[in-house]
Structure 1
């Protein structure tokens, strides 16, 4: 039986507590947060968990085998480093760290100690995203032209990072998963409208090999909440709409044929290819539950996580390039 501790039980931590409580193979669950009001609320909701106010107690406790780091992004590196050095398997909320060099340190520590290091890029474990990955791998979309994602909402403005670091890692991790490759260049422009000290809106472009383009729009200032990823190919278009609980994925078997030349608009019309709109059945299992189960499986079976330390490092490398481009007026990095 694994004993696990969740460090950081405010905004996202309770999702881990709830899911780990319902998974087999878990012994004791420790919940750690420096705010007493949060611990009281956790204890009143989940009577069987044990609460701690200082994460150092988690690090020193040899009975704890695994740790979830769900604290502010700026603390991820230091807490994860201490946990791995103490011989614990670690699941870190995205991003793995705020510097690429720090991510590489954690990656090397994981290899040296033989402990699992996993990053919670939750959308990689979303069955709807996995379905689009299946479409791509089976060549159902044909040659991929571009991937476009939109992640906008109004509110929940964080104090520790800007909107780019808050939202874009989701879409960067999705694109790396779907395309199985790193971008060649990254560029980004943005604006700080709500607070002048950090960007709350950004438009990001990623150029991949084979001419594939990735485009990400993120915003804290848009009253229209959107959580959507589109993949456009030569044969079809796939759409993932995370806000549509009935039809999260749609495949549009429509496209345009450029196999032969045309002399007039009438001939051009015949090159438009019509087809079905397919809404496949999607497993409705909560992605966080799948992620938590995968973390346990990797520990128990000595497996490499899908979103391991290298994957987390790759995402942060791209995020740092986005930040550099933002600071330099959109110059490609």
Structure 2
């Protein structure tokens, strides 16, 4: 069933803004409210939160409905879509209710609190003919879009390794560890830029809680990738310095993304190591000759724009084009599968564990 066929969803004119509601007025909700209000693709109609006073503050005088009732929002025929910005443990229940009411759904990271819950959301959206999109905001930054372009056109050659660091003196979360809080950003970027998405051969996680917070505050993920490549992600709530950096090493060039350097976010180095296999005797024994390549460094010019603005445009474009968004539910599932495998690895003291296979047929959890 398509969205236009669903009895609770009105069909606006092709170029008219679509009605949308934001559910959740906490940390991320105000950012969604601001960008949706400013977008020509959307008409913000409601802000929903159990704390109505907080919702009124976020609505900030805009002519929108403020309510603590999700049912009221979902009953509105002029609401075509719902943007969910609530704790991860609530994503599944809210998204399922919205999808069953015929609404397209945008969900902030992570998609859900388990692969099982995320799979149910993806399949229900598919059955309803509706768009389910993961708000992987970093994928819509000009820097990450350029990285994806360079990788796709082969400018870096074969990917050999990825080293990602996301550390800061951050807010220790009451309900999730540092992996679930910070790593989705890096994992979603990897899923967006790597050919074929993020499909590691396993996950090994090491974490520590040196301050007694009750959950890991410092963490390391090791992800062996197809073809012999390796990805490594370091996340940390306890660092007095803030670093957001990713190094992508290729057989031809190496790219460094420094998100905190607005003058030079991306640097591409034509430097690396070349190995030449040589035969050394009649038995065809081979040895490697090492040579170092020292070439130019360049930085592509990048436009300055807010990633969330591009993200809400993509949400609208995918609905109107009846296509999957760039960060669809499947992308959210791939990130979830790594997070869930990381939790298993932590319980196994850092052992390499398998990642959930997501290519099998999905079933709706009713």
TM-score, length of structure 2 as denominator length: 0.85
Alignment match, 1:3 = 19
Alignment match, 1:203 = 220
Alignment match, 1:16 = 32
Residue 332 of structure 2 aligns to a residue whose secondary structure is: helix
Residue 27 of structure 2 aligns to a residue whose secondary structure is: coil
289, 303, 328: which is aligned to 1:283? 303
Alignment check: 8 A CA contact 1:73 1:161 kept: no
123, 143, 146: which is aligned to 1:131? 146
Residue 106 of structure 1 aligns to a residue whose secondary structure is: helix
62, 65, 73: which is aligned to 2:77? 62
Alignment match, 2:265 = 248
4, 26, 31: which is aligned to 2:42? 26
Return the offset for 1:278.
0.6
Give the CA RMSD over aligned residues.
Answer: 2.0
Alignment match, 2:205 = 188
Q: Considering fraction of residues, name the structure with more helix.
A: 1
Alignment match, 1:222 = 239
Return the offset for 1:158.
1.4
Distance (Å, rounded) in 2 between the aligned partners of 1:201 and 1:257: 35
Residue 257 of structure 1 aligns to a residue whose secondary structure is: strand
Alignment check: 8 A CA contact 1:89 1:117 kept: yes
Distance (Å, rounded) in 2 between the aligned partners of 1:40 and 1:304: 33
Matched residues, number? 328
Alignment of 1:1-333 (within 5 A): 1-44=17-60, 46-179=61-194, 180-181=196-197, 182-259=199-276, 271-333=291-353
**Unaligned 5+ runs, structure 2:** 1-16, 281-287, 354-366
Residue 48 of structure 1 aligns to a residue whose secondary structure is: coil
Alignment check: 8 A CA contact 2:105 2:131 kept: yes
Q: Which runs of 4+ in 1 moved over 4 A?
A: none
Q: Which moved more, 1:80-89 or 1:276-285?
A: 276-285
Distance 1:189 1:82, change over 3 A: same
- For residues 158-195 of structure 1, the C-alpha deviation after alignment (integer angstroms, 9 at most, x for no partner) is 11211110111111111122222401111101011233
Alignment check: 8 A CA contact 2:178 2:218 kept: yes
Distance (Å, rounded) in 1 between the aligned partners of 2:309 and 2:42: 13
Distance (Å, rounded) in 2 between the aligned partners of 1:20 and 1:238: 33
**Unaligned 5+ runs, structure 1:** none
Return the offset for 1:223.
1.1
